[in-house]
Amino acid sequence: MQVAATAETTRCIKSAVDILTRGIDRAGGPVNLACSFSLEDTVIIDLAQSHGLPVGIFAIDTGRLPEETYQMAELVRERYGVEIDWYFPQATAVQRLERENGLFSFRNNLESRKQCCAIRKVEPLQRALRGLAGWVTGMRREQSVTRSELVSIEPDREHPGLLKIHPLYGWSEEELWAYANEFRIPVHPLHRKNYPSIGCAPCTRAVEPGEDIRAGRWWWENSEHKECGLHRS
């Protein structure tokens, strides 16, 4: 059962629901959330469910996700009674990558890391987006320099004809946690261990006090490179 929200959280909710509603209307067809089971994604699922918005859910299993992410996926599925469409990388491409380049080639250089992301994330995304009119992300301006100019709704330049919807684009970290605490939604276990951004296990670490929100993602790279290819800067 939903609880009463503070005035600030109510303002954030109104903004996000308005963006979702306008985005769904503009898309004019099926709209799904690309879910990694982060706090942002769970907030969006909770908002969509509580406001009766038709947003489906898909997730990409790269084969190297933390165990806690699978646990979180089950919590979300059971809590909201939703179906999650899972997509996986092509087995032959993963086998070729690991056979030829080893298990940790993504740490060699930026090109190798992007090659791994392309196989494990980007290609499955192409399949996940087929038949959709738009997709929803949990991206926020505050997260990194690559997202500082994010807008709420935009044409997907990488996938012409699709709309990208970012209902939390203007939310702060504090506003996310306020919503999570007020509505008692499920929270990824690693978030409480100083992992504000969570991806594949070998590419994610906890952040230190004062570090950037995405400092724990591909921490060996420069901040302006920290996108996997799902979202272009």
The DSSP result for 2-17, as a single string, is --PPPHHHHHHHHHHH
User: Which residues belong to the active site?
Assistant: 228
Cα 231 from chain centre: 10
* Residue 136 near residue 38 (C-beta atoms within 8 A): no
* Residue 214 near residue 223 (C-beta atoms within 8 A): yes
Question: Residue 11 corresponds to which tokens in the numbers above?
Answer: 């303002």
Q: Which residue type is seen at 41?
A: D
CA–CA gap between residue 27 and residue 162 (Å, rounded): 7
